[in-house]
Every structure is written in structure tokens, then in C-alpha cells.
Amino acid sequence: MINIIPPSRFKSIPWKNGKGTTTELAINEGGTLADFDWRLSIASVVEDGDFSDFSGYLRNLILISGQGIELSHTLAGQINIDNLNRLLTFSTFDGASQTRGRLLDGGITDFNLMTKTGKYRVDVRTYLKPGQVDVPACDLCFVYALQGEINLTQQDIGLEQVIAENHLLQIIPLEQQVTLSGQQLIVIRLTNKI
């Protein structure tokens, strides 16, 4: 099933730590901020600070505008640092980490994927330049374009679909490979582990 979610259906949700708001693009049916299987959102970060605790979740954070952010993750005494200083670079980290963000040069906007730990195999890919991308089958697929439209084709059944920029494409399930063309793409594939 192909579902196109327009910006008019996105929701503004307060941050868990109360220090801002996030734009929720999609969440699994029946999911809430306190309990969900997967969730996609976009947030603006305008000052240095600590991230909300999302223990029990895997986080993927993708830079979609601004000059960048340094993320420092502390978990079980280990410190890892990710520098997101180019468009569509991303960090994958445990939601239980004590994560602090330090802006590199002004505010940024990020795209977030959170998935319940151990529930899915998560594959996140980003594509900056125009081109074609083949997306293999999976249980759940999301595609988002920062700039320009997305063209989706599935040769064997003659399917062609055009998705406007800043709209979220959701396919449940993606039973056969599809080809995407566009630029500044975020492509997410979730496959059930069970």
C-alpha cells in the first residue's frame, strides 16, 4: 500500500524534555510519544543542550538544514562523538545515551527516525545528488525529499508515482523493488526481526 502524507497532516508535538517542539510526520498506528514502534519527525535546534531520554529506542538523526551539529553520546562510561557538518549526514545512537548537541554555526533542522530497540532491522540511506536509487523489498519503507519531487517506478507492474517535495512517501509493505529518482533523498527501510 502506497500512502503519501502531505505536510498538512504533520503534527506539532512538544519535546519530551519540554525545551522545544517537533513536527511529527508519522507514527505507527496506536503509537504515542510514551510508547511507539516507529516514529518520524523533524525538529529545529536553536541552542546547545541535552537531548531527551528515549531509552528502549534506536535513534537516527539526519542533518537537513544549517551548518551542523556535534553530538556527544555517553553510555555506560563510553563517549562517542558525531559531527554532522554536511547536508544529509547522520548519526545512529542508542536513545538511552546521554546525548548533548553543540551547534557548529547557528541553528539547524534535523530529521529523526526512532524505532523500538530490537524490533526492526533499520537501513537508513541518504542521497544528496540527483540520480536513481533502487530500493529492495522490506516490511516498511519511507522516502522523503528535501528538494524537488520524487519519481517512483516499479517496472514489472507499470507503476509510476510522483511525490511532491517535503511530502512523506510510506509503503507498507514494499513487496518488490522500486526505483526512485530525485535529489536530496532520505530512504528508510524497516524489516521486522520477528
pLDDT of 140 over the 80 cut: yes
pLDDT in tens, 149-188: 999 998 776 778 999 999 999 999 999 999 999 999 999 9
User: 3-state DSSP call for residue 110?
Assistant: strand
Closest among 109, 86, 144 to 101, alpha carbons compared: 109
Model confidence pLDDT, tens digit, residues 70-126: 999 999 999 999 999 999 999 999 999 999 999 999 999 999 999 999 999 999 999
Where on the phi/psi map is residue 19: left (φ > 0), alpha (ψ -120 to 50), or beta? Answer: alpha
* Cβ count near 38 (within 10 Å): 21
Q: Where are the domains of the chain?
A: 2-116, 120-192
Within this chain, domains 2-116 and 120-192 share the same CATH topology? yes
pLDDT digits (tens, 9 = 90+) for 1-14: 899 999 999 999 88
Any idea which fold 2-116 has? Jelly Rolls (2.60.120)
- Give the CATH architecture of domain 120-192: Sandwich (2.60)
